[in-house]
């Protein structure tokens, strides 16, 4: 399967957001990646339902909504109603993972589980087969533009091994500091979806960068 590319809207120009959305629409990108931060689970606040609803009006590709919030299961239906096609929740922020995963699926969205850099893949042992995708954070969540944590490459390999053992068909997504230099190693290790923010939006040619990531 070709690698899926999900530009992170957190790095877009919010004064000209419609322009950046249209750039993604016209590019070879596959998803829009939207980071929702509450200032509690992570030390930053980003955007919520209103912005997602507006993006959904213009986006021609699925919205991959990453919830960096406490008690995310309280808001699943609202994010789905706002336009989310994929909803991912942090293992570290949710007390009842199976219940939350199936609440996401029952809403009609794809269900993702997220691991912070310090969380081992072993915590997914009893649920990896239930998720549609697993998102590995390759930076500590909360801010864009951070340096990629190189141990993530080994973590992708370990997750792939666990998924094979558990007969999981989930996709592996990686988010944080992904660029043209480390992306080939992530793909070789087993990553299916690459989230890229600054690597795309700080590029002099964002569409060209998406093309390069897509065809590594």
Residues identified as active-site: 35, 175
The phi-psi region of residue 83 (left if phi > 0; otherwise alpha if psi is between -120 and 50; otherwise beta) is: left
Calculated CA dihedral for residues 33, 22, 30, 178, nearest 10 degrees: -50
DSSP 147: P
Cα gap 40→35, rounded to integer Å: 14
Backbone angles phi, psi at 37, to 5 degrees: -120, 140
Cα gap 84→82, rounded to integer Å: 6
Q: Chain centroid to CA 142: how far? A: 13
């Amino acid at each position: 399967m070709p690698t899926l590319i999900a530009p992170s809207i957190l790095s877009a120009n919010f004064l000209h957001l419609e322009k950046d959305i249209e750039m993604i629409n016209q590019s070879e990108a596959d998803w829009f990646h939207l980071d929702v931060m509450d200032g509690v689970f992570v030390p930053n606040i980003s955007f919520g339902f209103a912005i997602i609803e507006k993006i959904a009006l213009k986006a021609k590709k699925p919205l991959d909504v990453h919830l960096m919030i406490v008690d995310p299961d309280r808001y699943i239906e609202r994010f789905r109603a706002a336009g989310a096609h994929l909803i991912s929740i942090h293992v570290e922020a949710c007390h009842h993972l199976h219940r939350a995963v199936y609440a996401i699926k029952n809403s009609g969205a794809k269900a993702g589980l997220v691991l912070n850099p310090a969380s081992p893949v072993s915590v997914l042992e009893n649920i990896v087969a239930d998720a549609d995708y697993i998102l590995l954070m390759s930076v500590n969540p909360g801010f864009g533009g951070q340096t990629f944590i190189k141990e993530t490459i080994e973590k992708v390999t370990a997750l792939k091994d666990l998924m094979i053992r558990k007969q999981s068909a989930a996709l592996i997504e990686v988010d944080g500091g992904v660029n043209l230099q480390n992306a080939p190693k992530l793909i070789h290790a087993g990553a299916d979806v690459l989230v890229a923010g600054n690597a795309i939006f700080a590029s002099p040619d964002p569409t060209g960068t998406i093309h390069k990531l897509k065809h590594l």
